[in-house]
Amino acid sequence: MWYREEEVVAQIPGLTVRRLRRWVVRGWVRPARRDGAIAFDELDLARLRLLVELRDELGLGEDVLPVVLGLMDQLYGLRRRLRRLLEALAELPEDQRRRILQRLEE
């Protein structure tokens, strides 16, 4: 599902159009373009909720947010890679899986 700017602001307490646009310009949220307009998806909304929480509830300044977002993006990227690795391991024969797991525990 896609959301327009006004719909996003209406759904996320503490988010203003001005703040939303500033965060898009800074690249902290990267909405798609649909029919010539900016369109936000569910992942964008989740990231915006996180940004509002970090900014308003935890009191992080906007100078710190890029660092936090970068670290979180790295973490999520590593989780995706780990998930793919586990899926690949699951496809291996049992003896190979066992050897790999033993090696990891060393």
Q: Is the pLDDT of residue 84 over 90?
A: yes
Q: To the nearest whole number, what is the mean pLDDT of the chain?
A: 93
Q: Which CATH class is domain 1-60?
A: mainly alpha
Backbone angles phi, psi at 12, to 5 degrees: -115, 105
CA–CA gap between residue 96 and residue 101 (Å, rounded)? 9
Q: In this structure, what is the dihedral angle of CA atoms 14, 19, 24, 27, given to the nearest 10 degrees?
A: -90
Q: Is the pLDDT of residue 32 over 90?
A: yes
- pTM (two decimals): 0.76
